[in-house]
Amino acid sequence: MKLTIVEYPDKRLKEKSKEVEKFDKELHVLLDAMYKTMIESNGIGLAAIQVGHAKQILLLSIPDEEDQQSIDTLIEMINPVIIQTSGETTYQEGCLSVPGFYEDINRYECITVNYQDRDGNTKIVEADGLLSIALQHEIDHLKGILFIDKLSYSRRKKFEKEYKRVQKEKKLSKI
Ligand code: QAP
Ligand code: CO
């Protein structure tokens, strides 16, 4: 089933997600529905709160060298925790919950993440490049943080003005 994406400024995006304790069929059904939703929405990352579930779950599907996304490139993370960071980098980020908007965001260059897979097995991954950036973006969602929350005061003001203008236009075009 394709789920509905929660869009900014919906208050649910500010919620702190809760730790997953049961690694059961219900979790697997949600993970599968999130995957379908992410791919059909042309996303490379999705957190459960973006489909209205305040659970510490995220999906990533970073395109390969041929720019292809496939089930082989899917990463599912439950209860992820960043345990080590190094370096700094900037990347122009977007978000399925803030469609049509892209901003330069500062992130760590490399991170190490501890997480559980869909069966509850504990894993550890060291990430750099786009995977590292996407992971930090999605882990922020689990804390109720959006990429636009990381903008300077003046860039955020500019964003809000532009977002309101676009939302108004979208409404008008529906008439
Ligand atoms: C998070 O973002 C991310 O505006 C995932 O119209 C961001 O999948 C990972 C999307 C930056 C790595 C770097 C955004 C699709 C998808 C849009 C996404 C849109 C359609 C965003
Ligand atoms: Co996002």
Distance separating alpha carbons of residues 66 and 152, to the nearest angstrom: 35
Using DSSP's 3-state secondary structure scheme, residue 137 falls into helix
CB of 47 closer than 8 Å to CB of 58 = yes
Ligand 1 center to 134 CA (angstroms): 9
Short-list 107, 126, 131, CA closest to 58: 131
For ligand 1, say whether the CB of 69 is within 6 Å of any of its atoms.
no
pLDDT at res. 132: 98
Helix (H) / strand (E) element for 93: namely strand 89-93
pLDDT tens for each residue of the chain, 175 residues long: 899 999 999 999 999 999 999 999 999 999 999 999 999 999 999 999 999 999 999 999 999 989 899 888 899 999 999 999 999 999 999 999 999 999 999 999 999 999 999 999 999 999 999 999 999 999 999 999 999 999 999 999 999 999 999 999 999 998 8
Contacts of 59 (CB under 8 A, 6+ apart): 31, 34, 35, 38, 45, 46, 47, 74, 75, 76, 77, 138
Ligand 2 center to 124 CA (angstroms): 22
- What is the residue extent of each domain of the chain? 11-174
**Which residue blocks in the chain are alpha helix, DSSP H?**
25-40, 129-142, 153-174
- The strand pair at 110-116 and 103-107 is best described as unpaired
pLDDT at res. 71: 87
Catalytic residue among 138, 160, 162, 169: 138
pTM of the model: 0.97
Which class would CATH give 11-174? alpha beta
Neighbours of 22 (CB within 10 A): 8
For ligand 1, say whether the CB of 80 is within 6 Å of any of its atoms.
no
Ligand 1: which of 8, 62, 90, 95 to mutate, judged by most atoms within 8 Å of the beta carbon? 95
Known active-site residue 138: yes
Distance separating alpha carbons of residues 136 and 110, to the nearest angstrom: 10
For ligand 1, say whether the CB of 93 is within 6 Å of any of its atoms.
yes
CB of 5 closer than 8 Å to CB of 33 = no
For ligand 1, say whether the CB of 95 is within 6 Å of any of its atoms.
yes
